[in-house]
Amino acid sequence: MLTSKQRAYLRSLANGYDTILIVGKGGVSDQTIKQAADAIKKRELIKGKVLESAGATPREISEQIANEINADVVQVIGTKFVLYKRNEKEPKIELPKASKNK
């Protein structure tokens, strides 16, 4: 689970990223899941877009993909979404530490 500080950090990183995952009228297919899993394994942070013809909201689609690949939804804005999953073997993104408030 990401903290708000970590989420904000990931959102700022995602600003410079290109959209690499597009979900169209076929919705979320096995090919879409495979593409997302492969991309997130290499990059840890991916940006996707949901076309109007997808038949579901960008929030629903992003959560469905995130559940399938065990990732976190960082943000959903309009038709775009950002997913994050830490690569345990070769981490590329260093998240800010979670504060320990009591």
Residue pLDDT, tens place only, 35-81: 999 999 999 999 999 999 998 999 999 999 999 999 999 999 999 99
Residue with tokens 């070769």: 90
How far apart, in whole angstroms, are the C-alpha atoms of residue 91 and residue 29? Answer: 27
Prediction pTM value = 0.91
E strands along the chain, which residues?
19-23, 45-50, 72-77, 80-84
Q: Is 58 left (phi over 0), alpha (psi -120 to 50) or beta?
A: alpha
Write the single-letter amino acid at 93.
Answer: I
Its CATH architecture, for the domain 4-84, is: 2-Layer Sandwich (3.30)
DSSP character at residue 55: S
